[in-house]
Amino acid sequence: MNYFFDKNKFIITYFSRSLISSLLLKENELENIKINNFHCLIFLILKNLRRLIKFVFTVLSNIFKRKISSKKYNKNTFNKTYNFSDYKIAFFPHKGLRYSNAYKNTHIYDSNIDSKLYKEKIFTFFFESTDEVSSRFLKIHNIPNHNLNLIISKKKAIKKTLKFIIKNISFSLVLKNFSLSNFFLLNFYLNFLFTFFKYENFLENFKNLKVIYASYDVLFPKTLIFASELKGIISVSHQERSYHYSYFSPLFYNKYFVSGLFKNVLKKYDYLIDDYIDFGMIRSNKIFSDKQNIIKNDISDLINKKKSKKIVLCIGLMVVDDHDVGIYGEDGVSKKSNIDYVDTILKLSKEYLSCHFVLRFKDKYTISYLSNKIISEINDSPNIEINNNFKNTNIYEMVKISDLIIGKQTSIMEEALSAGKKIIFYDNENHFNSIDYVLNTTDISVRNYNELSKKLKFLLLENGDYSRDDIKLFEDYFSLNKKIDSYKIIKNSILEIL
């Protein structure tokens, strides 16, 4: 804000929506920014009200279940099946074991019964009920798993929190120094204590646990990492998205897998990592792979078209509600931005008839936001199509056979770059270039149609290439053209711990 608004001329009133944001701004005491906590207070009240309603509903539900059952209802009956002391590794794959049909998150499991990473020796946890396909996979392979939130003892955490409050907090002092900011601060501390005790109680069940592997670094609870550190359990994760350090608060893990020189960047962002391990760009090896599913009609058709035309894959995002876009900013996910992107690619297809353009979004619903006129125009054109076959056509297979990839900011762009593919970021919103990201120092993004057309012609039709400095940066940070088996490096490093 200080960059855009001269503090000598402007006084900014910031309506904080988040308790954390309010506390951080208060801590920094910026002269020209006044904090209005009205929205924050309302959200806090509503949040606690939802918790109370959920608690009452759960209690009433349990009472009802006891009445209709001759046995006492116990949601933790699965504990009779698993002896937590048998497990030395816990795996947290986030929401499920696959990301659409793009890739599976099962790389940690070994089929060899003698391996320390044998699938039945790894306890897999989720923070919510996982999807049906993941559940079926876990059941078929007899992999121990559960929703962590269903086995955590909240009662014990509440008791420990209350005990801590009675012992360490003076209510007379709280009343004497009461203010809205101090109330927010107290709420933050109490939430942290409750969450910490909740995870501490959970870890006490795993007497022999040595390592926790979180496959989605920025979304894994830091409080659980902190509790693991105090228990002497080694935390392991990898760089899931190379640009996330610009969005999220600093991370801390014992072992953290990154690509190339990103470790130097992350240190500047106050990441606290004991051991950085270079593992290349995760999933770029899927593009390097020589395997090609030519049985699939969509892939077979593109291979045939590639004989006479250059294949240009155009990766879009998905449509997000305008309200959320207004809160978090335009990064290419608004309805308007998606329509503009399709119009731009359609215009390109008319200019470059020697190329075949394939549009692919992140979900199958985005196409429904396009007008009938645009859909009809694409269907009638000989050199552009929208691939909406998410069930059978894998995006990595499409990247593999493409000559050029145009896209919004999404991780598969960097993975394609690492695999040696020529890529162009289309950044008409100036979102990509507004964040502090190593790729912003390169000539890899464009802002409008004319720049995009010129870049496509140079890279694809004139067989041009990136500058020497850009290629050097790609090699240093994105492991350009290095066929690194990231999954193997992760498994070997965890095996060393076990």
CATH code at position 401: 3.40.50.2000
What b/e sequence results for 227-245 when a residue is b if at least 16 CB atoms lie within 10 Å of its CB, and e otherwise?
bbeeeebbbbbbbbbbbbb
Same domain, 262 and 248: yes
The pLDDT assigned to 299 comes to: 87
Q: Establish if 403 belongs to a structural domain.
A: yes
pLDDT for the residue 294? 53
Residue where a domain stops, chosen among 73, 100, 132: 73
Statement to judge: residues 23 and 93 lie in one domain:
no
Query: Is residue 392 one of the residues assigned to a domain?
Result: yes
Check: CB of residue 416 under 8 Å from CB of residue 444. no
The Cα–Cα gap between 407 and 314 comes to: 5
Residue 185 within a domain: no
Q: Give me the torsion for CA of 129, 133, 136, 137, rounded to 10°.
A: -110
Q: Is there a domain that residue 48 lies in? A: yes
Q: What is the pLDDT, as a whole number, of residue 102?
A: 85
Check whether residue 55 and residue 88 sit in a common domain.
no
Looking at the structure, tell me whether residues 91 and 211 fall in a common domain. Answer: yes
Asked, for residue 307, whether it belongs to a domain, the answer is: yes
Q: What is the pTM of this model?
A: 0.85
DSSP class of residue 359 equals: E
Structurally, the chain folds into a number of domains equal to 3
493 shares a domain with 477: no
Write out the residue range of the structural domain in which residue 334 sits: 292-481
* End residue of a domain, out of 14, 38, 73: 73
Predicted pLDDT at 70: 45
Are residues 364 and 397 both part of a single domain?
yes
DSSP state string for 106-133: -TT-B--TTSTTBGGGEEEEESSPPPHH
- Cα separation, 80 vs 103, whole angstroms: 34
Whether 172 maps to a domain, the answer reads: no
- Identify whether residues 346 and 462 lie together within a single domain: yes
Q: Is 261 a domain residue?
A: yes
| CA 449 to mean position of chain CA atoms | 29
Residues 101 and 51 placed together within one structural domain of the fold:
no
CATH label of the domain that carries residue 96: 3.40.50
pLDDT along the chain (498 residues), means of 10: 67 76 73 75 83 78 64 42 88 88 91 95 92 92 90 88 87 79 83 93 92 94 96 96 89 96 93 95 84 69 92 94 77 90 96 96 92 94 93 91 94 94 93 88 94 96 94 94 91 95
The answer on 451 and 472 residing in a single domain is yes
In a domain, 188, yes or no: no
75 CB contacts (<8 Å, ≥6 apart)? Answer: 150, 151
Same domain, 223 and 128: yes
Domain boundary among 73, 107, 122: 73
Beta bridge partners of 253: 273
Q: Please tell me whether residues 85 and 32 are part of one structural domain.
A: no
The closest of 45, 35, 42 to 15, measured between CA atoms, is 35
Distances in Å between the Cα of 174 and the Cα atoms of 25, 170, 180, 200 are 22, 6, 11, 27
Tokens read off for 195: 């969450």
Residues 257 and 381 in one domain: no
